[in-house]
Amino acid sequence: MANSRILTLNEVIIQKQSAFPYAKGELSRLLMHIGLAAKIVNNKINKAGLETSIIGEVDNVNVQGEVQQKLDVYADEVFSKALQASGIVCGIASEECDEIIVFDDEMSKEGSYVICMDPLDGSSNIDVNVSVGTIFSIYRRISPVGDKVTNEDFLQPGIKQVAAGYIIYGSSTMLVYTTGLGTTGFTYDPSIGEFCMSHYYMVTPKNGQIYSINEGNYVKFASGVKKYLKWCQESDKDTGRPLTSRYIGSLVADFHRNLLKGGIYLYPKTASAPNGKLRLLYECNPIAFLAEQAGGMATDGYGNRILEIQPTNIHQRVPLFVGSKDMVEKAEEFMRENPDD
């Protein structure tokens, strides 16, 4: 039966506003600006196959040493402009920019919030019509209102996030966010141009059947990871193994599938990448916040909760083990029992 009452993102944000500790409506406005930027980027991504001017690489390598795609740059600009236009954000840190961006116009300087973002996640998948995403993370500033923001404002552990979320540009476009009161999902209805609530209170299964990892890196993994993967592949009727392997190569899409179905996503350290690949501020912290709010778990594989890691650098990388609680705990057990050689 069709939903008799459609709730849009903006309506839900306003309804939930009073439950937020600093309820002045600012965070609500900020989330609405993110929703607007998401629609603009979504529109562009949907045309990626038609507009050859927006697919492909730009002649630049970002601070992560990765070749930028045209849509990385486009999404970065759209989200940056929308966040500055909100007047509530005093600065941003983006995966695509070497340094933090300080918004020093009169209105933004008075803003209370800073944002960390991965404007386009999984961007190597754009040209082949595979799901990509945007990830965002919102903190209250530490520096006094009226001053310019500094790096310190961004170097806060993930437990200090006031909100986080992602947009997945997939077979349908969804926006999933949390303000610490559960994880809620909205599906974009292009016929009315609105994100409509589709997943009120997302709860990830405590256990699942899916493991997601780039197994091409197998020979470079620590022995704990190798042994865990073999365990996933072994048959065992009691525990429902072998598990199923699924890996898209867009964190947002891999995480979203596992969140709904139950599963574990791993990006461990490798011999050539001692901190893994994923970025603490732009990817791991927001994803960990959403996972925990849905009843899941996120660690670095060595017993450390992602949200408690104190960042020392805005572009810091960290290994990530995230997903269903029982599965992350099992992987952690293998890591403990097989210390690195």
DSSP secondary structure code for residue 193 in this structure: T
| From the list ligand AHG, Mn ion, none, partner contacted by residue 214 (C-beta under 5 to 8 A by kind) | ligand AHG
For residue 204, the minimal CB distance to ligand AHG (Å) is 18
Shorter beta-carbon distance to ligand AHG: residue 90 or 117: 117
Nearest to 118 by CA among 99, 134, 138, 100: 134
Tell me if 277 contacts ligand AHG by CB under 6 A: yes
**Which CB, 277 or 325, lies closer to ligand AHG?**
277
Nearer to ligand AHG, 156 or 212 (CB): 212
Q: What residue has token string 């040493």? A: 65
Residues in contact with ligand AHG, shown as a per-residue x/- string from 83 to 112 under the rule CB under 6 A? ------------x-----------------
- Identify which range of 4-12, 136-144, 244-252, 284-292 contacts ligand AHG by CB under 6 A: 244-252
**For residues 69 and 73, what is the distance between their CA atoms, to the nearest angstrom?**
7
In terms of CB distance, is 20 or 136 closer to ligand AHG?
136
Tell me the closest approach of the beta carbon of residue 212 to ligand AHG, in angstroms. Answer: 8
Which runs of consecutive H residues, i.e. helices, occur in the chain?
9-16, 26-46, 70-86, 106-109, 151-154, 223-233, 251-261, 285-293, 325-337
Q: Which helix (H) or strand (E) holds 68?
A: strand 67-69
* Selected range binding ligand AHG among 114-122, 164-172, 200-208, 323-331, rule: CB under 6 A: 114-122
Smallest distance from ligand AHG to CB 197, Å = 26
Choose the one of ligand AHG, Mn ion, none that binds residue 277, judging by a C-beta under 5 to 8 angstroms depending on kind. ligand AHG
Q: In what helix (H) or strand (E) does residue 121 lie, and over which residues does it extend? A: strand 113-121
Nearest to 162 by CA among 133, 142, 144: 142
Do the beta carbons of residue 222 and residue 269 sit within 8 Å?
yes
Least separation in angstroms between residue 274's CB and ligand AHG is 14
Task: List all residues 6 or more positions away from 190 whose beta carbon is below 8 Å from its beta carbon.
Answer: none
Residue 22: is it exposed, middle or buried by C-beta count within 10 angstroms (0-12/13-18/19+)?
A: exposed
Task: Give the residue with the Cβ less far from ligand AHG, 151 or 214.
Answer: 214
Minimum distance from CB of 41 to ligand AHG (Å)?
14
Task: State the number of binding residues for ligand AHG (CB under 6 A).
Answer: 11
Strands 89-94 and 113-121: parallel
Q: Is the peptide bond before 242 cis (omega within 30 degrees of 0)?
A: yes
Binding site for ligand AHG (CB under 6 A): 66, 95, 118, 121-123, 214, 249-251, 277
Binding site for Mn ion (CB under 5 A): 95, 118, 120-121
